[in-house]
């Protein structure tokens, strides 16, 4: 049985509400592995664990009926809970609680890898209280990479067929919960956070929904009820980079992804990203990547054949 889903409204935008899964399921794609694993144990609490590796990863606003912990293993990006924005980088932890509308994205300028886990703590009341007591400072740094090591150990156990793997995963998960609580309790490092305005939220959703090298800034400004200069200024204040650079980074990484994983022709990729011609796309791609789209796609296929 799949996770149940319910659409609710937030500022006239649909928000997906997700519940923990009730049956095992494994989902694999080019850039994500997700394992839903409601083991039937006394301390059953871990509902799913996943890892995503995608330079232009983005998740739309949604909420859960459980806790969700995210760990950025590589790259930079941002998360937001309602209007509160948290800028994150490698070794950053980010936690959301039940009922909190949140979303996020990779910055799009470098490789990005994220672990995520969904769980409830109804059978572990002391830990549940500790997690609920966390305030608005939802990000912290795991300088020793303890959380990453535990996440990797959980995946290794799940993909192996050793006896009592459910019990082992439960033990590793308990370690992760305690380690996470200790990191939040002892770490003095908090990552920058700002309030994300509804206008910038709308612009970000539009940029990720329609990736192109030349976004219609005027249309985006109208959508956000801001002039072009106001939009440029507010976007940089919230995200730390200009709108143009952010859009170019999304476009470059999307092009690389399509050439690498979807086996698309150069002309199809150019058309998908709204370039006026293959020539224009090839010049753009080579300027930013250093090789032509055709050379990049060939190198990726050649490397894949060697693996």
CATH classification of the domain holding 209: 1.10.10.60
* pLDDT at residue 4 tops 60: no
* Higher per-residue confidence, 12 vs 109: 109
* Higher per-residue confidence, 183 vs 204: 183
Residue 165: what pLDDT?
A: 84
- Please tell me whether residues 143 and 268 are part of one structural domain: no
- Please tell me whether residues 46 and 137 are part of one structural domain: yes
- Please tell me whether residues 124 and 185 are part of one structural domain: yes
CA–centroid distance for 136 within its chain: 20
- Please tell me whether residues 98 and 238 are part of one structural domain: no
Is the whole model's pTM more than 0.85, yes or no? no
Which own/partner contact pairs does 129-136 have at CB distance under 8 Å and 24+ positions apart?
130/181, 131/67, 131/95, 131/97, 131/181, 132/97, 134/95, 134/97, 134/184, 136/84, 136/193
* pLDDT at residue 25 tops 70: yes
Position 23 confidence tier, pLDDT thresholds 50, 70, 90: low
Average pLDDT over residues 221-233: 88
Q: What is the mean pLDDT of the chain?
A: 81
- Please tell me whether residues 111 and 79 are part of one structural domain: yes
Residue 279: what pLDDT?
A: 94
Position 195 confidence tier, pLDDT thresholds 50, 70, 90: low
Domain that holds residue 16: 5-193
* Higher per-residue confidence, 182 vs 10: 182
Tokens of 161: 């067929």
Position 3 confidence tier, pLDDT thresholds 50, 70, 90: very low
Average pLDDT over residues 2-17: 44
- Please tell me whether residues 156 and 66 are part of one structural domain: yes
Domain boundary among 139, 159, 193: 193
- pLDDT digit string (tens) for 99-158? 788 889 998 778 999 999 999 887 787 788 788 777 667 899 998 899 999 999 999 988
Average pLDDT over residues 74-86: 87
Give dist(CA 221, CA 34) in Å, integer.
37
Tokens of 184: 């939040």
- Please tell me whether residues 105 and 27 are part of one structural domain: yes
- Please tell me whether residues 174 and 276 are part of one structural domain: no
CA distances from 13 to 20, 61, 99, 146, 234 (A): 23, 9, 16, 37, 22
b/e string for 206-221 if b means 16 or more Cβ within 10 A? ebbeebbbebebeebb
Residue 260: what pLDDT?
A: 74
Average pLDDT over residues 200-210: 81
* pLDDT at residue 10 tops 70: no
Total structural domains in the chain?
Answer: 2
Give dist(CA 138, CA 69) in Å, integer.
10
């Amino acid at each position: 049985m799949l996770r149940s889903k319910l659409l609710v409204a937030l500022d006239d935008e649909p928000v997906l509400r997700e519940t923990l899964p009730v049956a095992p399921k494994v989902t694999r794609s080019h850039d994500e592995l997700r394992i839903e694993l409601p083991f039937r144990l006394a301390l059953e609490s871990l509902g799913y664990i996943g890892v995503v590796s995608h330079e232009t990863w983005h998740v739309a606003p949604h909420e859960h009926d459980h806790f969700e912990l995210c760990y950025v293993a590589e790259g930079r990006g941002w998360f937001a809970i309602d209007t509160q924005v948290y800028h994150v980088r490698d070794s950053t932890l980010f936690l959301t609680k039940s009922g909190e509308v949140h979303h996020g994205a990779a910055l799009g300028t470098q490789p990005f890898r994220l672990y995520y886990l969904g769980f409830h703590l109804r059978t572990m009341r002391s830990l549940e209280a500790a997690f609920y007591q966390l305030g608005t400072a939802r990000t912290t740094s795991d300088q020793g990479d303890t959380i990453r090591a535990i996440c990797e150990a959980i995946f290794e156990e799940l993909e192996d067929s050793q006896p009592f793997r459910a019990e082992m995963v439960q033990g590793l998960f308990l370690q992760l919960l305690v380690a996470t609580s200790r990191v939040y309790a002892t770490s003095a490092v908090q990552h920058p956070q700002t309030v994300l305005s509804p206008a910038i939220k709308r612009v970000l959703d539009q940029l990720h929904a329609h990736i192109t090298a030349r976004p219609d800034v005027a249309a985006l400004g109208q959508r956000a009820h801001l002039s072009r200069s106001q939009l440029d200024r507010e976007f940089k204040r919230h995200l730390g980079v200009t709108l143009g650079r952010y859009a170019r980074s999304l476009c470059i990484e999307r092009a690389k992804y399509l050439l690498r994983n979807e086996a698309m022709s150069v002309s199809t990729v150019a058309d998908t990203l709204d370039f006026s011609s293959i020539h224009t796309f090839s010049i753009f791609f080579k300027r930013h990547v250093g090789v032509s789209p055709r050379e990049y796609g060939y190198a990726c296929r050649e490397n894949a054949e060697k693996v």
